[in-house]
Amino acid sequence: MAETATRDLVIERVFDAPRELVYRAFIDPDQISQWFGPVGWSVPRDTVEIDARVGGDQKFTMVNDDDPSQASPVNAKFVEVIENELLVGAETWHDPELGEVEMTGRFEFHDEGDGRTRLVITQGPYGEETVEMAREGWESSFTKLDTLLAG
């Protein structure tokens, strides 16, 4: 039971595009504002600040199309960057109960050959600890996603 609840979260998808392009879609502000966020949400271009190097910013805000007062910011720093291969972003904040909490999102770009790319998203490299971080970090997003899915 506990094992199920704290299982690592891994999401994979193969794209019919070379990995340079897939990678770029994650670090190019123009492109992020074009694709990121579920349907019904936008990422305004002027909220996006991406500096894809260790210590650089990974910032953007998802805004609800119908109710722009609903906004869901991501405010992370890159902790690992290998061009065209790997992006790891971490968001750190202080939790009164837990102290310093860090949410980590790991994006691996694997060359599958034939111009295809396998993207592997792991919610943190440190196993189940990151579940909590995922929860905190994406909480506001999913509050709204809940509404979206219920509607």
Partner 1 sequence: MSTDADDRLSLIFSALADPTRRAILARLTEGEATVGELAQPFDISLPAISRHLKVLERAGLISRGRSAQWRTSTLEAAPLKEATDWMERYRVFWDANLDRLDAHLKKVMSDRAASAPRGSDPEPGMNDTTPDRTTRNTNRKSTRKGKSHG
Q: What is the C-alpha separation between 28 and 102, in angstroms, rounded?
A: 24
Query: Does residue 90 interact with partner 1 by CB under 8 A?
Result: no
Residues 125-144 touching partner 1, rule: CB under 8 A, are 128-129, 131-136, 138-143
Q: What is the C-alpha separation between 11 and 129, in angstroms, rounded?
A: 17
In this chain, which of 58, 74, 76, 78 binds partner 1, going by CB under 8 A? 78
In this chain, which of 5, 94, 113, 150 binds partner 1, going by CB under 8 A? 5
Q: What is the C-alpha separation between 50 and 48, in angstroms, rounded?
A: 6
Residues 15-34 touching partner 1, rule: CB under 8 A, are 15-17, 21-22, 24-25, 27-31, 33-34
Angle at 67 between CA 72 and CA 27, to 5 degrees: 35
